[in-house]
């Protein structure tokens, strides 16, 4: 079994790069189905953001959630590599 990287920049890149790629894939899948001009806040008020703003915010939310999941998985599986 290979050892996880121990230096922090390498560990961060091992988390952030795959999360970046998967956030792009998830955004493509979500917005292939969802039209940003028809979104509503909790079903009441329409979202009045420009589509590009909505795409950008959604991408960063997806990236953060996927990166947090990957970081937690790495922390739980390799606690000695902190």
User: What is the per-residue pLDDT across 11-37, written as a single tens digit (0 to 9) for each?
Assistant: 889 899 999 999 999 999 999 998 888
Task: Give pTM, 2 decimals.
Answer: 0.82
CB contact at 8 A, 11 and 4: yes
Does 4 score more than 70 pLDDT?
no
Does 65 score more than 80 pLDDT?
yes
CB contact at 8 A, 51 and 36: yes
Domain ranges of the chain: 51-75
pLDDT band of residue 67 (cuts 50, 70, 90) is very high
pLDDT band of residue 77 (cuts 50, 70, 90) is confident
Give the DSSP per-residue string, 1-21. -PPPP-SHHHHHHHHHHHHHH
E strands in the chain = 40-41, 45-46
């Amino acid at each position: 079994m290979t050892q996880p990287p121990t230096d922090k920049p390498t560990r961060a890149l091992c988390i952030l790069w795959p999360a970046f790629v998967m956030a792009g894939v998830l955004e493509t899948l979500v917005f292939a189905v969802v039209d940003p001009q028809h979104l509503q806040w909790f079903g009441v008020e329409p979202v009045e953001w420009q589509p590009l703003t909505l795409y950008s915010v959604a991408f960063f939310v997806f990236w953060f959630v996927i990166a947090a999941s990957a970081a937690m998985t790495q922390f739980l599986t390799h606690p000695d590599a902190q």
